[in-house]
Amino acid sequence: MIKILHLYNNLLNLYGEYANMVLLKKHLADQNIKVEVITADSAADVRLEDFQFIYIGAGTERKQKLALADLQTRRDDIVHCIESGTNMLLTGNSFEMLGRVIVDADGVEHSGLCCFDFSVTEQSQKRLTGDVTADCAMIPATLVGFVNKCSTIIFGQDSAEPDAKPQAAAIPASAIKSFCTVKRGLGNDNVAPDEGIRYKNLCGTHLTGPLLVKNPLLLDWLVKKLAESSDTKGFVFTPHDYPNENDAYAVTLQKLG
């Protein structure tokens, strides 16, 4: 049995992000793996260590801050899950909560969870939107998605705003890999191609779409990873034909050139 936690499923659910978990559950079931998806509006309602996979989707900047305030009370549990190798995926702006600080468009500082050594600065002049194609180390195909954000992410000790309260990050920037390398679209700092974060079994990315729905091979990779990490006895991945998913990916990739 694989237990999946979809955290803040009502609060952080832009772009139909719930469909990521709907499809993941179906694909796991198609591999004859028992799966249970638990939804929770607050981290206080669940034992995070009980789950083999934790997912958080995208939300507005205001709702992100509400989720962040709730998640602050479970910061140590989040760090434990990350370091112990719990599989986690955070899409859209939800992974920004894992940094040291988020400075909003009004200059107000919101302390992050300080799981990773990066800071986030938001601006209100222009939303940064667009389709994305990228290389992703986990799959032998071009990754596709969509980005809609107003933030810039900077890594390292110089990343915090001058007035930000000093807080030690649990995981240094040098230990963090990027989730993907953008070929078309915007990366973390909107200049370099590095996009998202990857550390142990945690992946965070601004890509939405929904991400797993748009990328069949990434979904296959996650299914295999969950099955293997949960010690599913005798698991052998069985390819299935999902023509609608594959055709949708092919059309998207062709349209994006």
**Alpha helices (runs of H) in 94-215, residue ranges in sequence order:** 211-214
* Percent of the chain surpassing pLDDT 70: 95
How confident is the model over 119-132, as a mean pLDDT? 95
How confident is the model over 218-234, as a mean pLDDT? 89
**Neighbouring C-alpha atoms within 13 Å toward the C-beta of 115:** 25
Contact indicator for 84, 100 with CB cutoff of 8 Å: no
From 3.90.550.10, 3.40.50.880, 3.40.50.720, 1.10.150.120, which CATH number describes the 2-255 domain?
3.40.50.880
pLDDT at 164: 45
The structure tokens listed for 238 are 């069985």
pTM of the model: 0.94
pLDDT in tens, 156-213: 865 444 444 445 567 999 999 999 999 999 999 999 999 999 999 999 999 999 999 9
pLDDT at 229: 82
pLDDT in tens, 28-76: 999 999 999 999 999 999 999 999 999 999 999 999 999 999 999 999 9
pLDDT at 167: 54
Considering the chain, what is the average pLDDT of its residues?
93
Q: What is the DSSP letter of 200?
A: T
14: nearest Cα among 47, 68, 62 = 62
Where along the chain do its domains lie? 2-255
* Percent of the chain surpassing pLDDT 90: 89
CA 13, 189, 202, 252 torsion-angle sign = positive
Q: Which residues are registered as beta bridge partners of 60?
A: none
Residue type, position 210, single letter: P
For 57, phi and psi rounded to 5 degrees? Answer: -100, -165
